[in-house]
Amino acid sequence: MTTLFRLLQIVRVAVRYRLDQLLPAAQLPWWLRPPVLLCRCFPAPALNRGQRLRKTCEDLGPIFVKFGQLLSTRPDLVAPDIITELDHLQDNVPPFANDTFRNIVETALGDEVDTLFASFERQPLASASVAQVHAATLHDGREVVVKAIRPGIEAIIDQDVKLLLLLARLASRYSVDGRRLRPVEVVQDYHRTIVDELDLQREAANASQLRRNFQHSPLLYVPEIHWDYTRPTVLVMERIYGIPITHIDRLKSQHTDMKLLAERGVEIFFTQVFTHNFFHADMHPGNIFVSTRHPQRPQYIAVDMAIVGSLTRADQYYLARNLLAMFRRDYRQVAELHVQCGWVPADTRVNDLEAAIRSVCEPIFEKPLKEISFGQVMITLFQTARRFNMEVQPQLVLLQKTLLNIEGLGRQLYPDLDLWTTAHPYLERWLQDRFHPGSLWRELKRYGPEWLEKFPEVPHLIFEALEARGGAGARQVQSPPQSMRPTAAAGRRGIALAAFAGAALLAWLQGGADLQSVPAAAWVLVGVGASAWLLR
């Protein structure tokens, strides 16, 4: 299929759903206005704009379906009515031929399917945008699923992404709304996401990590990866049996504790984000099941770990403090935290940001807590901050979309779920644990070797800093006493850092990285005390 032919297909579908009505005609270049005016000769479907975009993605095939799904994860950029429709996009893609699937598996694994597996089902279990899944049985009797990438999908992706980039650049150049929504950035983000999804070995590694994080946990079960049968284009994992999370009637018929199920979903989310710092970022209902083993102590089962997320330590800390400040309606602290963590420019007027946040959030908090959407409050918070030039934080966008999925799912399972009450004590405990002596000691053990490696450089760096500060002070202020003040302060800070590094060094050498060692613990306390005194 040539690029020109594909472009004509896109134009035909766009005209059918009259996407021209979504464009600001007055802002278009002169050479685009005639074809847009010509589109008005065609009848407009009785659909809203979100439905038109959804239908367009469905008609244009799996790549555009996937792009629509990505757009649905960007509530910071896309209007709510459009997101509602794009959330309905499903991967109802016709399966490709069984012989083709077998050839992909045999080429990747270097043997015939009948030799690799004791049995192999010809009919697929599922067929999605970029992959297809069949059931099979290993020779030791274990049931598995075999997942393979669609043939030729890379070429289709490259072609469609080029066209999407062309449309995005046009929108960005000729539309004010287009520039605000950053379509080029969205398409580039989509390209990275879908390329990652084409690497099944990467997905398998994500699943393996998530399984290890929840090993023996009553909250979440992740199927086992069979690495001997896994390649970049083929993945083989344990087959699971559970009830799809959306089958509420089946869950109730086995007397599942729905309240506990909803609360455990929230606990899983916060455990992934704050304890493990590794979260499943594609937790839509199609990827979540519930085990049938213990209905009164329900356990989730997660599949399809192609998209995962993580936060920096700074983002973890500031996010937790932001959420707790929101719980307390301490808008001043929320504004200050946005500046401190660099989410808004350093010269932002804290008073103005505080007032904007208060004006948006106060009407929300007048409702009963169980009626307030936790995820929507986060979105509102970030949207408000964007008025103060807050940069888009991709990791936080992914997080808030996951939170919206979890919250919506939890309230579908148990409508009276109060996510605020469930989350509040968890965040309080996490902040306390973060500064517990045991946690600090684990950090010391983790980064101790790196600090030891750099410790010999500390005296040299201190003297360099003293000379630089002293020279600058002498040039800027002729009075010797004034020029010496920053030098003295810098010296105290440098010596304090050296004292703490020395304490860490001695603790490591004498204690052998063992918290039970009295000399090690003593030296750490000495170092901390010296640092505190010198930094007065």
DSSP 243: E
Among 205, 200, 168, 203, CA closest to 183: 168
Distance (Å, whole) CA 297 – CA 256:
8
The count of C-alpha atoms lying within 13 angstroms of the C-alpha of 89, restricted to the half-sphere facing its C-beta, is: 30
Residue 282 designated active-site: yes
The encoded tokens of residue 110 equal 């270097």
Distance (Å, whole) CA 200 – CA 506:
46
Other Cβ atoms less than 10 A from the Cβ of 43: the count is 8
Q: What is the enclosing helix (H) or strand (E) of 148?
A: strand 143-149
DSSP 125: S
Place of tokens 């990438």: 149
Catalytic residue chosen out of the listed positions 20, 87, 189, 282: 282
Query: For residues 374, 380, 381 and 387, what is the CA-based torsion angle, rounded to 10 degrees?
Result: 170
Among 486, 484, 500, CA closest to 534: 500
DSSP 229: G
Other Cβ atoms less than 10 A from the Cβ of 344: the count is 21
Buried b (16+ CB within 10 A) or exposed e, 191-219: bebbeebbbbebbbbbbbebbebbeeeee
Residue 146 CB contacts under 8 Å (≥ 6 apart), including other chains: 105, 117, 120, 133, 134, 135, 136, 229, 234, 235, 236
Distance (Å, whole) CA 381 – CA 355:
12
Residue 420 CA from chain centroid, whole number: 21
Strand partners, 288: 302
DSSP 274: I
Residue 407 CA from chain centroid, whole number: 15
The encoded tokens of residue 314 equal 């700074």
CA 48 to each of CA 22, 45, 54, 507: distance values in angstroms, whole numbers, following the listed order: 10, 9, 10, 66
* Start-to-end Cα distance in the chain: 71
Task: Give 1: exposed, middle or buried? Use CB within 10 Å, 0-12, 13-18, 19+.
Answer: exposed
Q: Which residues are catalytic?
A: 282
